[in-house]
Amino acid sequence: MHSFKRYLTIYLALWKNSVTRETMFKGNFLLWILVEIIWFSLQLCFISVLFLHTDTIGSWTKWQVVMLVGASQFIQQIYQAFFLVNCVNLSELVRTGKMDFLLLLPVNSRFVLSLRQVDLGGFVNASFGVAVMLYAARQIPIAPAFTTVLGFLALCVVGVLIHYCLMFMLASVSFWTVRAQGIVYGYYNLFNIARLPDEAFRGVFKAVFTFVLPVLLVSNVPVRLLTDTLHSQFWLLVLLGMAVVCALASEWVWRISLRRYTSASS
């Protein structure tokens, strides 16, 4: 309990620093929110154009797909709020030697590296995803039970953690290559695949983005649960299993990476 309170105090201090940083650059904060809104709107326009030529994608109706886009936006932005900047900055810390100072702190180094900055704009953008989901739910229409909503939120948390573990593992490549921002942003761009129904894909492509980089599972499974179209528990178990695998692999890669680090003075 003492350790928990200590880390909570540290995290609150990190939040305070993040808020101070955002208030210093208000224009940048508002600009990125505007950019995200435009991009999100374009995604919805794409779905609207797509359904001018078809009624369903597999078993997915138009408004179920719109809900999927909203859920994907919500998961992506929550991930971005907590973890994206920190994963991207890891390679820069290694390159400049600033990693030395973080490793010397009397706290878990991965905790500080993963949570030292918070992107407050991500929470604002996530709210737009929620608004789209609520509108789509009225159009379907569905009225999920409270326990179903809790299950959906829990699976969203699992999805965020999967994204974090995979991206942190990719960012750890910087201990070998020095610069890994391209790899990290490359994975971030794959988030767009999560906005599409899993039934739109076949063969090797679907297998890779389900069992290797599970971006399809991250948003499809929670939305299927919310819309009562998750007819088998298999995919739920796969999502949870992939979360465990990603967490273990991420920690293993991180420990190996730390052994390779020789500090800025070496």
Q: Are 86 and 117 in contact (CB under 8 A)?
A: yes
Q: For residue 242, what pLDDT is reported?
A: 93
Domain ranges of the chain: 2-260
Query: CA quadruple 150, 156, 157, 158: dihedral positive or negative?
Result: positive
Model pLDDT for residues 32-72, shown as the tens digit of each residue: 888 888 989 998 999 999 898 888 988 899 999 999 999 99
167: nearest Cα among 72, 87, 246: 87
pLDDT at 29 exceeding the cut of 80: no
Identify the H or E element spanning 60: strand 60-61
Model pLDDT for residues 61-108, shown as the tens digit of each residue: 999 999 999 999 999 999 999 998 898 888 888 888 788 888 888 888
Q: What is the dihedral of CA 99, 103, 109, 115, to 10 degrees?
A: -40
Q: Are 77 and 122 in contact (CB under 8 A)?
A: yes
User: Which residues lie closer than 8 Å to 187 by C-beta, 6 or more apart?
Assistant: 166, 167, 170, 213
Q: For residue 180, what pLDDT is reported?
A: 66
Q: Are 152 and 222 in contact (CB under 8 A)?
A: yes
- Annotate 232-246 with b (16+ C-beta within 10 A) or e (fewer): eeebbeebbebbeeb
Q: For residue 186, what pLDDT is reported?
A: 76
DSSP string, 172-214: TTHHHHS--HHHHHHHHHGGGGGGS-GGG--HHHHHIIIIIS-
Interatomic CA distance for residues 160 and 154, integer angstroms: 10
Q: Are 32 and 121 in contact (CB under 8 A)?
A: yes
Token pair for 253: 């890669």
Interatomic CA distance for residues 67 and 73, integer angstroms: 10
pLDDT at 265 exceeding the cut of 60: no
Q: What is the mean pLDDT of residues 5-24?
A: 85
pLDDT band of residue 178 (cuts 50, 70, 90) is low
175: nearest Cα among 71, 100, 90: 90
Token pair for 98: 């600033």
Token pair for 25: 């650059």
Q: Write the Ramachandran bin of 263: left for phi over 0, alpha for psi from -120 to 50, otherwise beta.
A: left
pLDDT band of residue 129 (cuts 50, 70, 90) is very high
